Structure 1
Amino acid sequence: MNDQIFETVVTTQSSEGVAHIAPMGVRYQAGRVVLMPFKPSSTLANILATQHAVLNLITDTRVFAGCVTGRRAWPLVPAERIHGQRLACALNHVELRLDELLDDAQRPVLRMARVHEAGHAPFVGMNRAQAAVVEGAVLVSRLHMLDDQKIASEMAYLQIAIDKTAGPGEHEAWGWLQQAIAAHREKAVAR
Protein backbone atom coordinates (compact mmCIF):
# COMPACT_ATOMS: atom_id res chain seq x y z
CA MET A 1 0.00 0.00 0.00
CA ASN A 2 1.31 3.45 -0.92
CA ASP A 3 0.97 5.73 2.09
CA GLN A 4 2.17 8.81 0.22
CA ILE A 5 -0.52 11.50 0.38
CA PHE A 6 -1.02 14.16 -2.30
CA GLU A 7 -2.83 17.41 -1.50
CA THR A 8 -5.64 18.02 -3.99
CA VAL A 9 -9.10 19.57 -4.11
CA VAL A 10 -12.10 17.30 -4.57
CA THR A 11 -15.34 18.60 -6.02
CA THR A 12 -18.56 16.68 -5.48
CA GLN A 13 -22.16 17.39 -6.19
CA SER A 14 -25.29 16.51 -4.23
CA SER A 15 -28.09 14.64 -5.94
CA GLU A 16 -29.83 18.05 -6.18
CA GLY A 17 -26.84 19.45 -8.11
CA VAL A 18 -25.30 21.56 -5.33
CA ALA A 19 -21.52 21.62 -5.69
CA HIS A 20 -19.14 21.15 -2.76
CA ILE A 21 -15.41 21.98 -2.85
CA ALA A 22 -13.02 20.42 -0.33
CA PRO A 23 -9.24 20.21 0.00
CA MET A 24 -8.31 16.59 0.53
CA GLY A 25 -5.23 14.45 0.76
CA VAL A 26 -5.51 11.47 -1.59
CA ARG A 27 -3.55 8.32 -2.30
CA TYR A 28 -2.99 6.58 -5.61
CA GLN A 29 -3.19 2.78 -5.47
CA ALA A 30 -3.33 0.29 -8.33
CA GLY A 31 -4.61 2.89 -10.79
CA ARG A 32 -7.36 4.08 -8.47
CA VAL A 33 -7.69 7.24 -6.39
CA VAL A 34 -8.26 6.58 -2.69
CA LEU A 35 -10.30 9.11 -0.72
CA MET A 36 -10.86 8.93 3.04
CA PRO A 37 -13.39 11.64 3.95
CA PHE A 38 -14.48 12.01 7.56
CA LYS A 39 -17.94 11.08 8.80
CA PRO A 40 -20.04 13.15 8.59
CA SER A 41 -19.00 15.29 5.64
CA SER A 42 -20.59 16.74 2.53
CA THR A 43 -17.93 15.07 0.40
CA LEU A 44 -18.83 11.63 1.72
CA ALA A 45 -22.59 12.21 1.51
CA ASN A 46 -22.32 13.48 -2.07
CA ILE A 47 -20.16 10.59 -3.27
CA LEU A 48 -22.49 8.04 -1.67
CA ALA A 49 -25.49 9.77 -3.27
CA THR A 50 -24.08 10.22 -6.79
CA GLN A 51 -21.19 7.70 -6.94
CA HIS A 52 -18.97 10.42 -8.49
CA ALA A 53 -16.33 13.03 -7.66
CA VAL A 54 -13.77 15.13 -9.48
CA LEU A 55 -10.13 15.30 -8.44
CA ASN A 56 -8.70 18.77 -9.19
CA LEU A 57 -4.95 19.25 -9.46
CA ILE A 58 -4.22 22.92 -8.85
CA THR A 59 -1.47 25.38 -7.97
CA ASP A 60 -3.81 28.24 -6.97
CA THR A 61 -3.41 27.82 -3.23
CA ARG A 62 -6.10 30.40 -2.55
CA VAL A 63 -8.56 27.53 -3.03
CA PHE A 64 -6.98 25.55 -0.17
CA ALA A 65 -6.82 28.58 2.13
CA GLY A 66 -10.23 29.79 1.03
CA CYS A 67 -11.99 26.52 1.77
CA VAL A 68 -10.65 26.33 5.35
CA THR A 69 -11.52 29.99 6.01
CA GLY A 70 -15.08 29.94 4.69
CA ARG A 71 -14.42 31.03 1.09
CA ARG A 72 -15.88 28.17 -0.92
CA ALA A 73 -17.25 30.02 -3.97
CA TRP A 74 -14.75 29.18 -6.71
CA PRO A 75 -15.53 29.15 -10.43
CA LEU A 76 -16.63 25.74 -11.66
CA VAL A 77 -17.17 24.24 -15.10
CA PRO A 78 -19.07 21.06 -16.01
CA ALA A 79 -17.22 17.76 -15.93
CA GLU A 80 -16.92 16.06 -19.31
CA ARG A 81 -18.06 12.46 -18.70
CA ILE A 82 -19.78 12.41 -15.31
CA HIS A 83 -22.53 14.49 -13.74
CA GLY A 84 -20.37 16.86 -11.73
CA GLN A 85 -18.17 19.93 -11.87
CA ARG A 86 -14.48 20.72 -11.78
CA LEU A 87 -12.59 23.80 -10.71
CA ALA A 88 -12.05 26.27 -13.54
CA CYS A 89 -8.50 26.85 -12.25
CA ALA A 90 -7.56 23.15 -12.38
CA LEU A 91 -4.39 22.42 -14.31
CA ASN A 92 -5.66 18.85 -14.65
CA HIS A 93 -8.75 17.07 -13.47
CA VAL A 94 -9.73 13.43 -13.07
CA GLU A 95 -13.37 12.40 -13.12
CA LEU A 96 -14.02 9.56 -10.70
CA ARG A 97 -16.60 6.84 -10.05
CA LEU A 98 -16.96 5.00 -6.75
CA ASP A 99 -15.51 1.53 -7.29
CA GLU A 100 -15.24 0.18 -3.75
CA LEU A 101 -16.35 1.32 -0.30
CA LEU A 102 -14.73 0.07 2.90
CA ASP A 103 -16.86 1.48 5.70
CA ASP A 104 -15.35 2.80 8.92
CA ALA A 105 -16.86 4.56 11.92
CA GLN A 106 -14.69 7.65 11.38
CA ARG A 107 -13.08 7.60 7.90
CA PRO A 108 -14.42 5.20 5.27
CA VAL A 109 -12.07 4.28 2.45
CA LEU A 110 -13.44 5.11 -1.00
CA ARG A 111 -11.57 3.55 -3.90
CA MET A 112 -12.44 5.58 -6.97
CA ALA A 113 -12.01 4.44 -10.57
CA ARG A 114 -10.78 6.95 -13.14
CA VAL A 115 -13.49 7.68 -15.72
CA HIS A 116 -11.82 10.54 -17.57
CA GLU A 117 -8.71 12.73 -17.27
CA ALA A 118 -7.93 16.02 -18.96
CA GLY A 119 -5.24 18.68 -18.85
CA HIS A 120 -6.07 22.37 -19.06
CA ALA A 121 -2.86 24.30 -18.37
CA PRO A 122 0.84 23.51 -18.08
CA PHE A 123 2.40 22.84 -14.70
CA VAL A 124 5.31 25.26 -14.40
CA GLY A 125 6.37 24.15 -10.93
CA MET A 126 5.57 25.13 -7.37
CA ASN A 127 7.20 27.77 -5.26
CA ARG A 128 7.87 27.37 -1.56
CA ALA A 129 5.12 29.85 -0.69
CA GLN A 130 2.52 27.59 -2.32
CA ALA A 131 3.66 24.70 -0.12
CA ALA A 132 3.61 27.02 2.92
CA VAL A 133 0.02 28.08 2.19
CA VAL A 134 -1.10 24.44 1.87
CA GLU A 135 0.62 23.57 5.16
CA GLY A 136 -0.86 26.69 6.78
CA ALA A 137 -4.32 25.63 5.58
CA VAL A 138 -3.82 22.24 7.21
CA LEU A 139 -2.91 24.00 10.47
CA VAL A 140 -6.01 26.21 10.27
CA SER A 141 -8.19 23.15 9.69
CA ARG A 142 -6.82 21.77 12.98
CA LEU A 143 -6.99 24.88 15.17
CA HIS A 144 -9.39 23.09 17.51
CA MET A 145 -6.81 20.32 18.09
CA LEU A 146 -3.51 22.22 18.36
CA ASP A 147 -2.13 24.46 21.10
CA ASP A 148 -1.35 28.11 20.39
CA GLN A 149 2.42 27.67 20.78
CA LYS A 150 2.57 24.97 18.08
CA ILE A 151 0.46 27.07 15.71
CA ALA A 152 2.60 30.16 16.33
CA SER A 153 5.91 28.36 15.81
CA GLU A 154 4.75 26.56 12.65
CA MET A 155 3.30 29.73 11.14
CA ALA A 156 6.49 31.67 11.95
CA TYR A 157 8.56 29.07 10.11
CA LEU A 158 6.18 29.02 7.12
CA GLN A 159 6.30 32.84 7.00
CA ILE A 160 9.91 32.57 5.76
CA ALA A 161 8.76 30.90 2.52
CA ILE A 162 5.97 33.45 2.13
CA ASP A 163 8.42 36.33 2.53
CA LYS A 164 10.90 34.86 0.05
CA THR A 165 8.75 33.38 -2.74
CA ALA A 166 5.08 34.42 -2.55
CA GLY A 167 3.22 36.08 -5.38
CA PRO A 168 -0.02 38.05 -5.00
CA GLY A 169 -2.19 34.91 -4.76
CA GLU A 170 -0.10 33.37 -2.01
CA HIS A 171 -0.03 36.67 -0.08
CA GLU A 172 -3.82 36.87 -0.28
CA ALA A 173 -4.24 33.25 0.86
CA TRP A 174 -1.73 33.73 3.68
CA GLY A 175 -3.66 36.77 4.89
CA TRP A 176 -6.85 34.72 5.08
CA LEU A 177 -5.06 32.07 7.15
CA GLN A 178 -3.62 34.69 9.51
CA GLN A 179 -7.08 36.24 9.95
CA ALA A 180 -8.55 32.83 10.81
CA ILE A 181 -5.85 32.20 13.42
CA ALA A 182 -6.36 35.65 14.95
CA ALA A 183 -10.13 35.09 15.14
CA HIS A 184 -9.57 31.70 16.78
CA ARG A 185 -7.28 33.29 19.39
CA GLU A 186 -9.82 36.05 20.10
CA LYS A 187 -12.54 33.44 20.68
CA ALA A 188 -10.27 31.50 23.03
CA VAL A 189 -9.47 34.64 25.07
CA ALA A 190 -13.17 35.56 25.25
CA ARG A 191 -14.04 32.20 26.83
Structure 2
Amino acid sequence: MIHETIVTTAARDGRPHVAPMGARYEGDFVVLAPFRPSTTLDNIVASHAAVLNFTTDVRIFAGCITHRATDWPTVAASRVASVRLAASLAHAELELDHIDGTDNNAERPVLWMKCVHRENHAPFAGFNRAQAAVVEGAILVSRLFMLPADKVDREMAYLQIAIDKTAGDHERTAWSWLVAAVERHRAGSAVDGPTAARAPH
Protein backbone atom coordinates (compact mmCIF):
# COMPACT_ATOMS: atom_id res chain seq x y z
CA MET A 1 0.00 0.00 0.00
CA ILE A 2 1.30 3.44 -0.96
CA HIS A 3 0.21 6.49 1.03
CA GLU A 4 0.27 9.88 -0.68
CA THR A 5 2.00 12.37 1.62
CA ILE A 6 3.99 15.57 1.57
CA VAL A 7 7.67 15.03 2.37
CA THR A 8 9.63 17.95 3.75
CA THR A 9 13.41 18.09 3.99
CA ALA A 10 16.07 20.72 4.62
CA ALA A 11 19.31 21.44 2.79
CA ARG A 12 22.60 21.90 4.66
CA ASP A 13 21.95 25.64 4.82
CA GLY A 14 18.48 25.06 6.28
CA ARG A 15 16.59 25.85 3.07
CA PRO A 16 13.30 23.87 3.14
CA HIS A 17 12.07 21.66 0.33
CA VAL A 18 8.47 20.47 -0.03
CA ALA A 19 7.50 17.58 -2.32
CA PRO A 20 4.50 15.26 -2.79
CA MET A 21 5.66 11.66 -2.50
CA GLY A 22 4.24 8.19 -1.97
CA ALA A 23 5.37 6.40 1.19
CA ARG A 24 5.22 2.71 2.06
CA TYR A 25 5.24 1.17 5.50
CA GLU A 26 7.38 -1.96 5.80
CA GLY A 27 7.44 -3.22 9.38
CA ASP A 28 9.29 -0.59 11.43
CA PHE A 29 10.36 1.34 8.34
CA VAL A 30 8.92 4.11 6.19
CA VAL A 31 10.13 3.55 2.62
CA LEU A 32 10.62 6.41 0.14
CA ALA A 33 11.79 6.01 -3.48
CA PRO A 34 12.38 9.40 -5.12
CA PHE A 35 13.33 9.63 -8.79
CA ARG A 36 16.74 11.05 -9.69
CA PRO A 37 17.53 13.92 -9.90
CA SER A 38 15.93 14.67 -6.55
CA THR A 39 16.31 17.49 -4.08
CA THR A 40 14.56 15.30 -1.51
CA LEU A 41 17.14 12.55 -2.04
CA ASP A 42 20.05 15.00 -1.85
CA ASN A 43 18.72 16.54 1.36
CA ILE A 44 18.10 13.19 3.04
CA VAL A 45 21.57 11.93 2.14
CA ALA A 46 23.04 15.12 3.61
CA SER A 47 20.92 15.38 6.76
CA HIS A 48 19.77 11.76 7.29
CA ALA A 49 16.33 13.20 8.05
CA ALA A 50 12.91 13.90 6.56
CA VAL A 51 9.36 14.54 7.71
CA LEU A 52 6.11 12.98 6.50
CA ASN A 53 3.32 15.56 6.61
CA PHE A 54 -0.33 14.55 6.71
CA THR A 55 -2.57 17.26 5.30
CA THR A 56 -5.91 17.70 3.56
CA ASP A 57 -4.79 20.94 1.89
CA VAL A 58 -4.50 19.53 -1.60
CA ARG A 59 -3.26 22.85 -2.95
CA ILE A 60 0.15 21.68 -1.74
CA PHE A 61 0.04 18.58 -3.96
CA ALA A 62 -1.19 20.52 -6.99
CA GLY A 63 0.99 23.56 -6.36
CA CYS A 64 4.20 21.55 -6.17
CA ILE A 65 3.38 19.38 -9.20
CA THR A 66 2.48 22.37 -11.38
CA HIS A 67 5.11 24.76 -9.93
CA ARG A 68 2.32 27.25 -9.29
CA ALA A 69 3.10 27.40 -5.55
CA THR A 70 6.02 25.78 -3.75
CA ASP A 71 6.82 28.19 -0.89
CA TRP A 72 4.60 26.62 1.74
CA PRO A 73 5.24 27.78 5.34
CA THR A 74 7.39 25.41 7.39
CA VAL A 75 8.70 25.26 10.95
CA ALA A 76 11.60 23.35 12.46
CA ALA A 77 11.00 19.68 13.25
CA SER A 78 11.12 18.69 16.90
CA ARG A 79 13.67 15.86 16.84
CA VAL A 80 15.39 15.69 13.44
CA ALA A 81 17.40 18.05 11.23
CA SER A 82 14.46 18.93 9.00
CA VAL A 83 11.28 20.99 8.78
CA ARG A 84 7.57 20.24 8.79
CA LEU A 85 4.61 21.98 7.20
CA ALA A 86 3.30 24.66 9.54
CA ALA A 87 -0.29 23.72 8.70
CA SER A 88 -0.06 19.92 8.76
CA LEU A 89 -2.72 17.97 10.63
CA ALA A 90 0.01 15.64 11.89
CA HIS A 91 3.57 14.76 11.07
CA ALA A 92 6.10 11.96 11.51
CA GLU A 93 9.81 12.68 11.84
CA LEU A 94 12.13 10.21 10.14
CA GLU A 95 15.79 9.30 10.36
CA LEU A 96 17.63 7.51 7.54
CA ASP A 97 18.60 3.92 8.35
CA HIS A 98 20.01 2.80 5.00
CA ILE A 99 19.69 3.23 1.23
CA ASP A 100 19.35 0.60 -1.50
CA GLY A 101 20.38 1.46 -5.05
CA THR A 102 23.12 4.03 -4.59
CA ASP A 103 25.95 1.75 -5.74
CA ASN A 104 24.52 1.24 -9.22
CA ASN A 105 23.06 4.75 -9.62
CA ALA A 106 19.51 3.39 -9.67
CA GLU A 107 16.89 5.74 -11.10
CA ARG A 108 14.91 5.37 -7.86
CA PRO A 109 17.10 4.66 -4.82
CA VAL A 110 15.10 3.16 -1.95
CA LEU A 111 15.39 5.06 1.33
CA TRP A 112 14.66 3.08 4.49
CA MET A 113 13.65 5.52 7.23
CA LYS A 114 12.76 4.97 10.88
CA CYS A 115 10.14 7.08 12.64
CA VAL A 116 11.60 8.72 15.75
CA HIS A 117 8.81 11.17 16.63
CA ARG A 118 5.15 11.88 15.86
CA GLU A 119 2.88 14.82 16.62
CA ASN A 120 -0.78 15.66 16.04
CA HIS A 121 -1.71 19.29 15.42
CA ALA A 122 -5.34 19.43 14.30
CA PRO A 123 -8.30 17.04 13.96
CA PHE A 124 -9.02 15.20 10.73
CA ALA A 125 -12.47 16.34 9.60
CA GLY A 126 -13.21 13.40 7.28
CA PHE A 127 -12.72 12.33 3.69
CA ASN A 128 -13.64 14.63 0.82
CA ARG A 129 -14.04 13.33 -2.73
CA ALA A 130 -12.72 16.52 -4.30
CA GLN A 131 -9.52 16.28 -2.26
CA ALA A 132 -9.01 12.73 -3.50
CA ALA A 133 -9.73 13.90 -7.06
CA VAL A 134 -7.05 16.59 -6.83
CA VAL A 135 -4.48 14.07 -5.61
CA GLU A 136 -5.35 11.75 -8.51
CA GLY A 137 -5.24 14.68 -10.92
CA ALA A 138 -1.81 15.69 -9.61
CA ILE A 139 -0.51 12.18 -10.27
CA LEU A 140 -1.89 12.37 -13.81
CA VAL A 141 -0.19 15.71 -14.41
CA SER A 142 3.12 14.31 -13.14
CA ARG A 143 2.85 11.64 -15.86
CA LEU A 144 1.74 13.74 -18.83
CA PHE A 145 5.00 12.95 -20.60
CA MET A 146 4.13 9.24 -20.68
CA LEU A 147 0.30 9.03 -20.89
CA PRO A 148 -1.87 9.17 -24.04
CA ALA A 149 -3.92 12.36 -24.27
CA ASP A 150 -7.22 10.47 -24.51
CA LYS A 151 -6.52 8.63 -21.23
CA VAL A 152 -5.76 11.91 -19.49
CA ASP A 153 -8.96 13.45 -20.88
CA ARG A 154 -11.12 10.51 -19.74
CA GLU A 155 -9.69 10.46 -16.24
CA MET A 156 -9.79 14.23 -15.79
CA ALA A 157 -13.43 14.28 -16.94
CA TYR A 158 -14.32 11.63 -14.36
CA LEU A 159 -12.46 13.43 -11.57
CA GLN A 160 -14.21 16.67 -12.55
CA ILE A 161 -17.47 15.14 -11.26
CA ALA A 162 -16.13 15.02 -7.69
CA ILE A 163 -14.78 18.55 -8.02
CA ASP A 164 -18.14 19.87 -9.20
CA LYS A 165 -20.09 18.10 -6.46
CA THR A 166 -17.90 18.37 -3.37
CA ALA A 167 -15.06 20.91 -3.77
CA GLY A 168 -14.44 23.90 -1.56
CA ASP A 169 -12.33 26.91 -2.45
CA HIS A 170 -9.00 25.17 -1.84
CA GLU A 171 -9.93 22.21 -4.02
CA ARG A 172 -11.21 24.42 -6.84
CA THR A 173 -7.99 26.42 -6.80
CA ALA A 174 -5.86 23.27 -6.85
CA TRP A 175 -7.92 21.78 -9.67
CA SER A 176 -7.61 24.95 -11.77
CA TRP A 177 -3.80 24.68 -11.50
CA LEU A 178 -3.92 21.08 -12.75
CA VAL A 179 -6.21 21.89 -15.68
CA ALA A 180 -3.95 24.77 -16.68
CA ALA A 181 -0.91 22.48 -16.47
CA VAL A 182 -2.49 20.01 -18.91
CA GLU A 183 -3.23 22.86 -21.31
CA ARG A 184 0.34 24.21 -21.05
CA HIS A 185 1.79 20.76 -21.65
CA ARG A 186 -0.27 20.28 -24.79
CA ALA A 187 0.54 23.75 -26.09
CA GLY A 188 4.24 23.07 -25.54
CA SER A 189 4.05 19.65 -27.15
CA ALA A 190 2.34 21.09 -30.22
CA VAL A 191 5.20 23.56 -30.69
CA ASP A 192 8.23 21.62 -29.48
CA GLY A 193 7.23 17.96 -29.65
CA PRO A 194 6.76 15.68 -26.62
CA THR A 195 8.09 17.06 -23.36
CA ALA A 196 9.40 15.04 -20.44
CA ALA A 197 8.19 16.93 -17.42
CA ARG A 198 8.33 15.08 -14.14
CA ALA A 199 6.94 15.85 -10.73
CA PRO A 200 9.31 17.62 -8.35
CA HIS A 201 10.93 15.44 -5.71
Equivalent runs, 1:18-167 vs 2, <5 Å:
18-70=15-67, 71-103=69-101, 105-167=106-168
Code of the residue aligned with 1:142 in structure 2: it is R
CA distance in structure 2 between the partners assigned to 1:172 and 1:136 by the alignment = 13
Structure 1: runs of 5+ lacking an equivalent? none
Q: Does the residue aligned with 2:174 lie in a helix, a strand or coil?
A: helix
Identical amino acids, percent of aligned pairs: 56
Structure 1 position 31, deviation (Å): 2.1
Structure 2: runs of 5+ lacking an equivalent? 193-201
Q: Does the residue aligned with 2:140 lie in a helix, a strand or coil?
A: helix
Equivalent runs, 1:167-178 vs 2, <5 Å:
167-178=168-179
Match of 2:11 in 1: 14
1:185 aligns with 2:183: no
CA distance in structure 1 between the partners assigned to 2:54 and 2:85 by the alignment = 9
Code of the residue aligned with 1:69 in structure 2: it is T
Code of the residue aligned with 2:11 in structure 1: it is S
TM-score, length basis structure 2: 0.91
Structure 1 position 38, deviation (Å): 1.1
Code of the residue aligned with 2:93 in structure 1: it is E
Q: Does the residue aligned with 1:151 lie in a helix, a strand or coil?
A: helix
CA distance in structure 2 between the partners assigned to 1:109 and 1:66 by the alignment = 25
Moved more, 12-21 or 45-54: 12-21
Structure 1 position 67, deviation (Å): 0.3
Query: What number of residue pairs does the alignment pair up?
Result: 188
CA distance in structure 1 between the partners assigned to 2:46 and 2:81 by the alignment = 12
